[in-house]
Amino acid sequence: MQLFKLAKLDRRLAIENGAALVQLQRQRLEKIVAYARQHSPFYRDLYQNLPEEGFSLTDLPPMTKPQLMADFDAWATDRAVTRAGVDAFIRDKSRVGERYLGKYSVWTTSGTTGEPGIFLVDGLAQRLYNALMIQRGYRSWLTWGGLGTMIRRGFHTAMILAVGDHYAGAANWVRMRRELSLFASRLMIFPILEPLPRIVQRLNAFQPVIIASYPSMLVLLAHEQTAGRLKIQPLMLNSLGEGLDENARGQIETAFPHSRLADIYATSEFLFIGFECEQHWLHVNSDWVLLEPVNEHNQLVPAGEPSADVLLTNLVNRVQPLLRYALGGSVTLNTEPCACGNPLPAVRVSGRTDEILYFPATAGGVTGVLPMAIASVVEQVPGVTRYQIIQTAPEQIKIRLEVESGADRETTWETMEADLRDFFLAQRAAPVQAILDEEEPQVNPVSGKFRHVYREFEL
């Protein structure tokens, strides 16, 4: 019941009245800043010269992920939260979807900057995130006829995600399935590490009404649907976690002409930042999350100009306040009111630019390997801090690797090499040579972006 109370979200006040939205943003900003100053030693010190009231958002100094991770214990507003305790919690993969200290969800990410992150989410914030998905996502995407179709087909929903660790999407989905136990059999997780033929077989049996996954996976499913091996008619296709470009969109929509494809702006720092409208703009839930498109000097860029970074302020999650946090990536703000009629700020996002890698298959032809799939194999090796997976030839990859302080690089690599060998075998790929590169992970010298998985040769 509390979920549906939250699902109202002051929707009319926040969306239909621009002045009321600004006032609401201001009230929530003052509350979260006051709470951070009172309960977080990190923010108490950082804001010691900030006035109690009358400050503006830009008076707050921008924060980076390394800064917050380095001061993890002081950053948290709950004194029972410690980095040592959280590290012990996330090492136990059987606890994915459980709550640390019985209170907080824990989500891990490597992020577009390549720096690993650990984010705690309190119960109110997590309920709000899911309410946003229901109230502002599906409410805008589904017609009454579509809702009737969902009811007739049993609400079957498939999430095809990286699993096996405390990733935000999978962990939140596990939590939802536990809380909605009566519907658990209708809410299925499909691990992206499963071979594609097995995923196709399971989807054919499950017949989902909604599929949510990475654009790269949706492209592979589009190929399977076109080839006749996949035989499903989903009502909704949601893409998240990677950039959805026009080429991918065209392939997906051609293969599923009766499905609504909608992109979601989703991160571990605020699970559902925005939802796509029919004009292909992402509308930011700016009554609960503030985004500042900035240049390399953290100065606001004008509408219509791609930003160098994005500063995020989470107005709901109190256990780890994120105030003008450097999210990474690039957004472009719409210069005009969106033609769809939604007055919430509209942006286009340049997200992760990882690529599907193609390798010779054991049965002939090629097999596509999802970037999120191979990345999850590498991320789950103990001791890994940062990495890059680069395909250098049809049957060869090189790994740039940075390990934790105290971890042995060679031992970490031996484990990773064995795991990759098993992964390629499960994906039914011909033997692939994995080489440990002497260079450490690095950003692209031209774009300044960090890519995890990509090719260095032409197909």
> What pLDDT, in 10s, does the model give residues 130-180?
999 988 988 888 887 888 888 888 889 999 988 888 888 888 888 888 877
Taking only the tens place, the pLDDT of each residue in 331-367 is: 999 999 999 988 899 999 985 667 889 999 998 889 9
Q: Are 109 and 119 in contact (CB under 8 A)?
A: yes
Mean pLDDT, the chain, as a whole number? 89
pLDDT number for residue 14: 47
pTM (global) more than 0.85: no
pLDDT number for residue 147: 80
DSSP 3-state of 441: coil
307-313 long-range contacts, Cβ below 8 Å, gap at least 24?
A: 307/331, 307/332, 308/448, 311/62, 312/267, 312/269, 312/270, 312/273, 313/29, 313/32, 313/57, 313/60, 313/289
Cα gap 305→302, rounded to integer Å: 6
Q: Where is pLDDT greater, at 286 or 459?
A: 286
pLDDT number for residue 10: 45
How many angstroms separate the Cα of 33 from the Cα of each of 9, 47, 309? 21, 9, 22
Cα gap 338→348, rounded to integer Å: 12
How many angstroms separate the Cα of 22 from the Cα of each of 14, 334, 435? 8, 18, 53
Burial of residue 347, with CB atoms counted within 10 A of its CB: 0-12 exposed, 13-18 middle, 19 or more buried = buried
pLDDT number for residue 143: 81
Confidence of residue 398 (pLDDT cuts 50, 70, 90): very high
pLDDT number for residue 37: 97
pLDDT number for residue 244: 85
pLDDT number for residue 78: 98
Q: Tell me the residue type at 12.
A: R
Cα gap 457→70, rounded to integer Å: 37
Is the pLDDT at 15 greater than 60? The verdict is: no
Beta-strand runs (E) in 301-355: 309-314, 325-326, 330-333, 346-350
* Chain position carrying tokens 């977080």: 40
pLDDT number for residue 145: 81
* Distant-in-sequence, close-in-space partners of 431: CB < 8 Å, separation ≥ 6: 395, 424
Is the pLDDT at 73 greater than 90? The verdict is: yes
